[in-house]
Amino acid sequence: MRRSGGPDEPPLVLTELATGALRLAAVSRGALAVGLTPGLTLADARARIPRLVTIEHDPAADDALLELMAEDCERWTPLVALDPPHGLLLDITGCAHLFGDEAALRHRVLRRFRRAGFTVNATVAGTPDAARALARFGRAAVVPTGGEAAAARSLPVAALELPDETHVALRRAGLKRLADLMDRPSRPLSARFGAQLATRLNRVLGREDRRITPLRALPPCFVEQNFPEPLADPEDVFRVLRQLVEHAAKTMEGRGEGGRVFEASFFPSDGGVRRSRVETGRPSRDAKSILRLFREKLDTAPFDPGFGFDLIRLAVPVAEPLAATQPQLDGKALEDGELASLVDRLAARFGAARVLRFSAVDTHDPSRSEKLVPATAALPDGASWPEPEPGEPPLRPLQLFEPPLQVSVVAEVPDGPPAGFRWRRVFHHVVRVEGPERIAPEWWRDPDRPARDYYRVEDREGRRFWLFRTGLYGEAPETNWYLHGLFA
C-alpha cells in the first residue's frame, strides 16, 4: 500500500467481501502497528479501532498498478513477468551490464520504486524461484552464481510456499529452515511430505529453472534509443522517432516484410509508460507515411513529455510479408465490419467522447429513457428498447420535447382528459383521447416531483400529441399541462 499518513492519521484499511463478511484485504502500516491484519472482519477491526478509515479493495486497480510497474521495468529489460499479487520477475540476462553490474541494476530498481513511495524488496539470483523465495523470505541482495543453495539455507520452510497442511506438518516435525531439509536425504522427506517438496526445494535452491512468461511477448522487431538526459522537446522526440522508424523499416526490408502495427513507447523519467499505436491497412515500411500517422495521432491527443523521456522504443508487433497486390478499391459495399471500422476511425480522429449513439435506459420516466453513449463503448447490461406490444398503437411519440412545453389546456376537473389545448397560439380541438397513463417520478431521484398523467390525443386535423398533467385539481397546489411529444 502506498504512503499511509502520519502517526496521527487514523489507520487505513482496504476491505473486501470474502467468505460472507466484509474483511480487511490490506492494511496500512499504521493499521498493522495497532494489530490489524488482513483477513480480520471489518466489524471486528472496528470493534478494536473505531476510528478506522476504509476503502473498498479494488483488485483490478492493484493488478493495473502492478502492470504499470511491470511496464516501467521494461526500461531495464524487455522480459518482465508479473508475479501477482505483488511481485515482478525481471529476466536481466544480458541486460545488467548496460547499467553497470547486477548490484547496480538492483540498486536502480529499488531506488526508482522507493522514490515513488513503494515498499519494495529485490533479490538477484540464478533462477526466478530462488530470487522470489529470497526476496520474500530472506535478505539476500545479489546471490553469486551458484550460491543459491547457500543463501537459501537460513530461509524458513515457508519459503517453499507449500500448502498450509504440509507447512504445519514440516514444523511439527521440527523442520523449520531449509537447511533442515537440505541436510537430510530427500527420499524420506518426499515419502512424507510429497514429491512437491523436492520440486519446490530444487527450484528455490536454483537446481531447477523454469521459464517465465513475460508480460509482453517480444515483438518480432523492435528498436530503441536511450538518452542520458531526458528528452523534453517534442520536435526532438519526433526526430528520434523518425530515426527509429527508418531503422525499423530497414530491418524489415531485409526480411521482406512490412509492418501492420507500429507501436512507439515513451518512457518518462518519472515513471509510467506512454504508448502510441498506429495501424496501417496493409503492410508497410514507408517511413514517411508511418510517421505521418504517428504525427496525426500524437497531435490530436495533447502530447506532453513532462519531465522528458529517457527511453524511446519502437516496436512492430504485427508484421506481414509485404503484399504485391492492393485490396479492392471500389469502396462500394460498406459491410457491417466496415461501419465498425468507420466508427473506429472517426473515434480515433475526433475522440471517443465525440462519436455517440443512443442507448436505451431501463426506466419508466420517458425523459430518461435513452441516453447518449460513446459509440465505441460496450452497451450497458440490460439496456434494451421496450418491445412494442403486438396489435397496440405506439405508446410513445417519435419526437420528444425536452424539456416539455407548457401549454394551456381545457379539461374537466379534477382529472379529466384534455378537451382542447393551445400550443404556439393555435388552439387544437381534441377529438380523440386515451389515458391517463400515470407515471410516477423515481422517488429516490426526485422525491418532490409530482406524478404525471399522460394522454395521447388527436386533434381535428388528425395530428397526434402527447400531453401530460402534473398535479390534480384539489390535491396538488397547482396543476399544469405540458406537451411532451408529437406522434408522427
Partner 1 sequence: MTSAYAELVAATNFSFLRGAAHPQQMLQTAMLLGQTGLGIADRNTVAGVVRAYSALKQLQEDGTPPIQKVREGSGPGEYAFIEHPIKGDLEVPKEELKRLAKTFKLVVGARLVFADGTPDIVTYPTDRTGWGRLCRLLTTGNRRARKGACTLYLDDLLADAADLLLIVMPERRLDGLGRTLAQAREATPGAIWLGAAMHRRGDDRRRLLRLKALAEEARVPLLAVNNVLYDTPEARDLQDIVTCIREGVTLAAAGRRLEANAERHLKPPEEMARLFRDAPEAVAETQDFLARTDFSLDQLRYHYPDEPVPLGYTAQSWLETLVWRRASFLYPNGLSRKVERLLKEELALIKELDIARYFLTIHDIVRVAEDKGILCQGRGSAANSAVCYVLGITAADPAKHDLLFARFISSQRREPPDIDVDFEHERREEIIQHIYERYGRERAGIAATVIHYRPRSAMREVGKVLGLTADVTARLASTQWGSWGNEIVDEHVRQAGVDPANPEIRRALNLASRLLGFPRHLSQHVGGFVLARGRLDEVVPIGNAAMPDRTFIEWDKDDIDALRLMKVDVLALGMLTCIRKAFELLKRYEGIDLKLNGFDPDGSDDRFKVYEMLQEADSLGVFQVESRAQMNMLPRLKPKEFYDLVIEVALVRPGPIQGDMVHPYLRRRNGLEEVVYPAPAPEHGHKNELFDVLHRTLGVPLFQEQAMRLAMVAAKFTDGDANGLRRAMATFRNVGTIHTFETKMIAGMVRRGYDPDFAKRCFEQIKGFGSYGFPESHAVSFANLVYVSSWLKCYHPAIFACALLNSQPMGFYAPAQIVRDAEAHGVEVRSVDINHSAYDCTLELCQDGALALRLGFRQVDGFSRAEGERLAQARGMGFASVEELATRGKLPAHSLRRLADADAFRSLGLDRRDALWAVRRLPDDGPLPLWAAADARELGDEPEARLPPMALGEHVAADYQTLRLSLKAHPMEILRPLFRRERIITSAELAALGHGAWARHAGVVLVRQRPGNGKAIFITLEDEAGITNVVMWESTFERFRREAMSARLLLVEGRVQKSPEGIVHLMAERAFDRTEELKRLSENHDPTIEISRADEVLRPQPPRQQATHPRNVRILPKSRDFH
How far apart, in whole angstroms, are the C-alpha atoms of residue 121 and residue 105?
13
Q: Does 158 interact with partner 1 (rule: CB under 8 A)?
A: no
In whole angstroms, what is the distance from residue 345 CA to residue 376 CA? 10
Instruction: Compute, in degrees rounded to 10, the torsion defined by CA atoms 354, 356, 362, 365.
Output: 70
Q: Which is nearer to partner 1, 299 or 362 (CB)?
A: 362
Which position among 31, 42, 244, 273 is part of the footprint of partner 1 (CB under 8 A)? Answer: 42
Of the candidate spans 67-75, 123-131, 214-222, 452-460, the one that interacts with partner 1 by CB under 8 A turns out to be 452-460
CB of 194 to partner 1, least distance (A): 8
> Which of 29, 32, 46, 476 is close enough to bind partner 1 by CB under 8 A?
46
Between 294 and 468, CB nearer to partner 1:
468
What DSSP state is assigned to residue 416? P
Pick the closer one to partner 1 by CB: 21 or 334: 21
Query: Does 196 contact partner 1 by CB under 8 A?
Result: no
Among 126-134, 185-193, 351-359, 399-407, which window interacts with partner 1 (CB under 8 A)?
A: 185-193
Q: How far is the CB of 173 from partner 1 (least distance, A)?
A: 6
At what angle are helices 102-115 and 59-73 packed, to 10 degrees? 140
485 Cβ contact list (under 8 Å, min separation 6): 366, 396, 397, 398, 399, 400, 401, 465, 466
H or E stretch covering 42: helix 42-48
Please check whether residue 245 is in contact with residue 314, taking contact to mean a CB–CB distance below 8 angstroms.
Answer: yes
Spatial distance between the Cα atoms of 177 and 171, rounded to a whole number of angstroms = 9
Q: Among residue numbers 231 through 290, which ones bind partner 1 (CB under 8 A)?
A: none
Which of the residues 368 through 387 are near partner 1 (CB under 8 A)? 382, 386
Q: Give the residue from 206, 65, 72 showing the smallest Cα distance to 140.
A: 206
Residue type, 13: V
Is 193 near partner 1 (CB under 8 A)?
A: yes
Should residue 439 be labelled a site residue for partner 1 when binding is judged by CB under 8 A?
yes
Cβ proximity to partner 1, 173 vs 379, nearer residue = 173
Single out the residue of 169, 261, 352, 410 in contact with partner 1 (rule: CB under 8 A). 169
CB 3 within 8 A of CB 117: yes
Instruction: Return residues touching partner 1 (CB under 8 A).
Output: 15, 17-23, 34-35, 38-44, 46-51, 54, 56, 164-165, 167-169, 171-176, 184-185, 187-188, 191-194, 361-364, 382, 386, 389, 392, 395, 434-440, 442-444, 451, 453-454, 456
